[in-house]
A = this chain, B = another copy of it.
Amino acid sequence: MKYSASKENYLKEIFHLQSQQNMVTTNALAAALHTKAASVTDMLKKLKTQKLLLYEKYKGFKLNNEGKKAAVQIIRKHRLWEFFLVEKLQFGWDEVHEMAEELEHISSKKLIDRLDSFLDFPKTDPHGDPIPDCNGKFSERRQLALREVPINKIVQVSAITEQTSAMLELLQHKNIRIGTKLEVKKKFPFDNSLELKIKNHLIITISEQVAEKILVHDD
């Protein structure tokens, strides 16, 4: 039930990789973890012995149910801590990842559930990624790009697909971040720019390039 920080990093990364391609390869995992293929093979044997993944030599591998369950708990911790750092400690979303990379290994389940409650059960982290609940369930709300949103519908920002500091600067200036409630008031077909009402009062304008990087969901 408790794994080393290193094992947890492996579990988490395998989980992410296998959500894209069904079977994960040694080299892909080594690259993702900034380690060497030989180290990955070593760890795979240990994880297999602990019955956390399915693995046959030379044939790739993937987490079994037990492994997935463990991975989701680590992802939950990572994202809740990120939310805490941004929401309560005023960090920028571009500076929290490394700290969360350490905090996610704090073992107490009770601690993380209390933190969840303290933060008022956020549904997405500062990067818009979903935070699983204490049972490991991801709430899925369909996201759509802001440019697809009908006029006058109130939506909430759930993710930004391009997380550069240039984008961050622009969004901070315009007061847009994850969780912001907004409404598309006007679309200009000339350049596909949008006029938005933010938090029920502020009116701002954003370009097509920005609008296609902002994902939202129903309020």
Contact = CB atoms under 8 A, between A and B. Distances in A.
Contact of A115 (B89, B107, B118): B89
A73 to B, nearest CB: 16
B114 A89 contact: yes
A50 interface: no
17 contacts: A85-B111, A88-B118, A89-B111, A89-B114, A89-B115, A89-B118, A90-B114, A91-B114, A98-B108, A99-B106, A99-B108, A99-B111, A102-B106, A102-B107, A102-B108, A103-B106, A106-B106
Q: Number of copies of this chain in the oligomer?
A: 2
Q: Determine the main DSSP class of A at the interface with B.
A: helix
Nearest to A5: B5
Nearest to A116: B89
Interface of A: 85, 88-91, 98-99, 102-103, 106-108, 111, 114-115, 118
Nearest to A89: B114
Nearest to A117: B89
Interface-central residue, A89, A103, A107, A114, by most chain B CB under 10 Å: A89
A118 to B, nearest CB: 6
Contacts of A108: 98-99, 102
Nearest to A111: B99
A74 B62 CA distance: 39
